[in-house]
Amino acid sequence: MSKLHEECGVFGIYDLDGGNVASSIYYGLLALQHRGQESCGIAVSDTSGPKGKVDSYKGMGLVNEVFVEGALDGLQGDIGVGHVRYSTAGASTRENAQPLVLNYVKGTLGLAHNGNLINAAELRKELEYGGAIFQTTIDTEVIAYHIARERVKSKSVEEAVGRAVDKLKGAYSLVVMSPRKLIGVRDPYGFKPLCIGKRDNAYILASESCALDTIGAQFVRNVEPGEIVTITPQGIMSDTSRCLPLEKQGRCIFEYIYFARPDSHIDGISVYQSRILAGKYLAMDSPVEADLVVGVPESGNAAALGYSLESGIPYGTAFVKNSYVGRTFIKPKQSNRESSVQVKLNVLKEAVAGKRVIMIDDSIVRGTTSDRIVTMLKEAGAKEVHMRVSSPPFLWPCYFGTDVPERDQLIAYNHSLEEIRQIIGADTLGYLEIGRLEQIAGGQPICKGCFTGNYPMKPPADDIRGEYEK
């Protein structure tokens, strides 16, 4: 059984006035908690203190579970990085929690990574044959080792980072802390988001703009795909030599459909407005007569509102969500996925009884979750359930950090639209048309590989997903 995982979240801050940054990282990670709920960590350093001294703290669980009272007291420094992580089941260990802190001849590196490399195994073997001993099974450690190795023969840490990322193939947003610099890197395709913020005299790097809002920082700009930004007391330096032409880029469309918080802006596009637009397009392309439009929380809600606005059918709430249960989409085991649906959601019978209901969800992977939710609505008295999906059907796996599994586990690969409708028990079924994807992303180039099999870069010959995770 393939395992489903989502994105991770990265956060970095450098307070040029020398203020302690640990609490800001903590609150930034709380804002990014939706991107990973298995482990988290913070590493900080004092740029005016002993060079190479890094304090770090990490563990398994949610941010507020790991950082109990007093945990931040030992993290003193004006520069730091943080990370929230979701892994595949076999790698859910404290050793694989990030940030990684590496001590080497030039000092220390603290590294947080969001993404998935398709050449991780090859890069790892190269290091192992050179005598490297690995402490984790994540490709983040591979990146850290390559940066450290390049640093020995480079004039600066940012030059070493540039040489190291030249070897990387795949998706990555990186935040790197050296003793005196904070560096942000985004892969040339722009798969993973990364933005820059500023609060007083502190600069911030974060996966999503919502983390900037949480700590009272102002959004400055996005890190461009392929760009390396270096933050020092002299300001922000930028290296755009690896940037690709716009038409060759490929942002992950699932940031807009599912992953990102609705109050975030990804590359200048409002996630909330993207989801509203997806719902409007569904209403245009897959209309149906009904009494009520509802969303499957949380990412289905805005699309449901969009469907309602376009169709004129009233928008309502049909589900009460238990906010303390992790996302169903990323449960590692099939049995867990099925049982967690009812733990996570309960139907408001008074809202749906006797009504024809349009139910909007962000995706259908295997179909088991959709089957349970449709059944719950009908058991609550819904006369009809019409399912609309704010993404196209999954037909191919993803190799770039969104864990869409092997093709034989994708319900749309094995079944026709009518067969899927029958399996999940809906009265009608409609997906977002593939031509609408660029429109909901503001016309930006996006990766549609999991829908079409055409990826921005050549996928690996061997599927090693799960062997070297992020």
Side by side, which strands form the sheet with 107-117?
100-104, 107-117, 170-177, 182-186, 228-232, 235-239
Query: Residue 210: enclosing H or E segment and its boundaries?
Result: helix 209-214
Nearest to 394 by CA among 287, 258, 295, 275: 258
- Please answer whether residues 76 and 44 qualify as being in contact, where contact means their C-beta atoms are separated by less than 8 angstroms: yes
From residue 469, alpha-carbon distances to 113, 155, 420, 435 in Å are 11, 31, 31, 31
8 classed as catalytic: yes
**Nearest Cα to 388, choosing from 402, 376, 409, 373?**
373
Instruction: Judge contact between 339 and 11, C-beta under 8 A.
Output: no
Q: How many CB atoms within 10 Å of residue 181?
A: 19
Distance CA 34, CA 304 (A): 20
Amino acid at 172: Y
63 torsion bin: left (phi>0), alpha (psi -120 to 50), beta (else) = alpha
Q: Which of 8, 40, 210, 398 is catalytic?
A: 8
Catalytic site positions: 8
